[in-house]
Structure 1
Amino acid sequence: MNHKILALKKELSKAVIGQENMIDGLLIGLLCDGHILVEGVPGLAKTTTIDALSKAIGLDAKRIQFTPDLLPSDIIGAQIYNPQDHSFSIKKGPLFTHLLLADEINRAPAKVQSALLEAMQERQITIADETFKLDKPFLVMATQNPIEQEGVYALPEAQLDRFMMKIVVKHNAEDEELTIMRKVANQSFEEIQTVLSLEALQELQEALKDIHIDEALERYMIQLIAATREPVRFGLEALEPLIMFGVSPRASIDLYKASKAHAFLKGKTFVSPSDIASVIHKVLRHRIVLSYEARAKGIQSDEIITKIIETLPIP
Structure 2
Amino acid sequence: METRHLKYFVAVAEELHFGKAAKRLHISQPPLSQQIMKFEEDLGVPLFLRDRRSVRLTAAGESLLRDAHSILGAMERARRNLSAAAGGERGRLSLGYIGPALNTALPEVIRRFRGAYPNVRFDLQQMGTNEQLDALRAQTIDAGVVRLFRHNTDGLETMLFHQEAYAVVAPEDHPLAGRDCVDLSELEGQPLITFPRSVHPPLYDEWMRIFASHGFMPDIVQEVETKNAAQALAAAGMGIAIVPESLSSEARRGVRFLTLNGEYPTLEIHVATRRGDISPATRNLLQIVRAIMGATMRETGRENRL
TM score, norm. by length of structure 1: 0.20
Report which of the two has the higher share of strand.
2
TM score, norm. by length of structure 2: 0.20
Larger radius of gyration: 2
